[in-house]
Structure 1
Amino acid sequence: MLTFLTGCADAVGFLSLGGAFSSVMTGNMVLLGLSAGRGEADLALTSGCAIVSFIAGVLAGARLAGSAQPGDPVWPGRVTRALVLELLVFVVFLVVWELNPANRSEHVDLALLMLSAAALGVQSSAIQRFGVPGLSSTYLTGTLTSLIAGVAARTPWRGLRPKAQVLAALMSGAAVGALVAVHLSAWSPALLIVPLVFVIAVSSRMAEEPGVEVSPTAR
């Protein structure tokens, strides 16, 4: 669900908020380099602000979520707290969006992109609390690489399925986000808030379930 949200946010950001991404910082850094080479100040500002906002979100999320600890439950409560912070950022996103329903200025679009990038930064660092190497809901090039390497090595499908599901969720979110951004723009904030509310509601029931001790290598 969180990866589906990421796909939606990236589609909305790219199509409706200035042509940069909310979570794909590698892409934004490439756009920043392209803007420097082509002398496009607007693209440089958009991509640069997205990167800075994402970093700010990562710092805030890491502070709130903390790091993996021995004896952590299946879903540490501090992860949920970080996701609540992400939700609050997206609520601000919703308010700004609704106050500027049509013909938004470039400054408003930039502010919305920065809010979205900050929220995804919080989410990125929150997922790190699980202490599982390679687990992410935002940066997934490594997941794709691991999946293809596993296929080449003839790894059983049971081990590859989670990676395939996460990648499918990202692409599905991007597809849905693009459709809504183009045809039902007013509903774009709902794509970012509804999945997050669902995850917070479900995770609150998981927070007390005992987990397994996290190994030093996983941390």
Structure 2
Amino acid sequence: MATLLREARATLVPDPAGRDGPLPPLMLVLTVVTGLVDAVSYLELGRVFVANMTGNVVFTGFALAGAPGFSLAASLVALAAFVVGAFTGGAIVHRTRAAEHRGRLLLYALLTETVCVAAALVVILVSGSPYTGGVRFTLVVLLGLGLGVQNAAARAISVPDLKTTVLTLTITGIAADSRAAGGAGSRAGRRALSVAAMLLGALGGALAVLNGHPRLPLMLAVVLLVAVTLTAVPMARGGRAWTTGHAGR
């Protein structure tokens, strides 16, 4: 337990001169954003994810099999939007100078994602619930684009165990790498925080939607994105050790 708490604290309050500098807590905030956004997409937009593409591939199979309640069009649109977002994130990584600086890469990706999620919030604010037809697909596209950019940037920034949208390997690592299983140690503190961040976002988003406040999760997501973006502005300057050596890998 002492080790778990020590790892958790090192993630929440990292050493500025460490391998990943101030990045870990920011990636946790983006994980919360993922939970908030996917709560809206699944509960309000009809069983579709905009961040969890494994789920959308499974839903596509369900829809092709004729399972009720699943939309083939929505799943495919979400997949396509996410791919375009990931492509955009990849272009930021590989075709700009941001690839040489993790802080700058994070800032550019956050600016793009914030615009997409804020645009989705505007659509929700001016549209009446339920969100159907063109409004539904517009929201799926905007959110899929934003989360695709986030996922590409998180992959390139490469903070261990903090990928912001994928938890399967994180949860596997908690058990499979544990000393009880004969491993060298699972970094369970950091991994548990990643799971908790996603859970917190999903729980908060679901509670808001189910209690008649479908706009609130995206409002919170935009607030968090703006806060992280402002934090990333000074991080995009300078050349400390943590800013180089991992972006683009």
| Secondary structure in 2 matching 1:21 | coil
Partner of 2:103: 76
The one-letter code of the counterpart of 1:105 is T
Q: 2:240 aligns with which of 207, 210, 215?
A: 210
Q: 1:20 aligns with which of 48, 64, 67?
A: 48
Confirm whether residue 48 of structure 1 aligns to residue 79 of structure 2. Answer: no
Q: How far 1:42 sits from its partner (Å)?
A: 6.1
Q: For 1:115-134, what aligned pairs fall within 5 Å after superposition? A: 115-132=142-159
| Secondary structure in 1 matching 2:215 | helix
Q: How far 1:178 sits from its partner (Å)?
A: 0.3
The one-letter code of the counterpart of 1:214 is G
Partner of 2:112: 85
Confirm whether residue 189 of structure 1 aligns to residue 218 of structure 2. Answer: yes
The one-letter code of the counterpart of 2:54 is T
The 3 A distance-change label for structure 1 pair 22 and 119 is same
Deviations 1:133-159 (A, max 9, x none): 6541112211111122122346557x3
Partner of 2:126: 99
Q: Take 2:160 and 2:192, find their aligned partners in 1: how far apart are those partners? A: 16
Unaligned runs of 5+ in 1: none
CA RMSD of aligned residues (A): 2.7
| Secondary structure in 1 matching 2:65 | helix
Q: Take 1:103 and 1:31, find their aligned partners in 2: how far apart are those partners? A: 21
Amino-acid identity (%): 29
Q: Take 2:130 and 2:54, find their aligned partners in 1: how far apart are those partners? A: 29
Confirm whether residue 33 of structure 1 aligns to residue 61 of structure 2. Answer: yes
- Report the TM-score when normalising by structure 1: 0.87
Deviations 1:40-96 (A, max 9, x none): 6961011111111100100011111338x9x955x4212211110011111211121
The one-letter code of the counterpart of 1:111 is T
The one-letter code of the counterpart of 2:245 is V
Partner of 1:200: 229
Q: Take 1:135 and 1:103, find their aligned partners in 2: how far apart are those partners? A: 34
Q: Take 2:54 and 2:174, find their aligned partners in 1: how far apart are those partners? A: 20
Unaligned runs of 5+ in 2: 1-28
| Secondary structure in 1 matching 2:240 | coil
The one-letter code of the counterpart of 1:79 is L
Q: Take 2:36 and 2:239, find their aligned partners in 1: how far apart are those partners? A: 30
Q: Take 1:202 and 1:215, find their aligned partners in 2: how far apart are those partners? A: 20
Q: How far 1:20 sits from its partner (Å)?
A: 0.6
The 3 A distance-change label for structure 1 pair 215 and 139 is closer
- Report the TM-score when normalising by structure 2: 0.77
Q: Take 1:199 and 1:214, find their aligned partners in 2: how far apart are those partners? A: 22
Q: Tell me which stretches of 4 or more aligned residues in structure 1 moved more than 6 Å.
A: none
Contact 1:66 1:129 in 2 (8 A): no
Q: How far 1:7 sits from its partner (Å)?
A: 0.6
Q: Take 1:148 and 1:117, find their aligned partners in 2: how far apart are those partners? A: 31
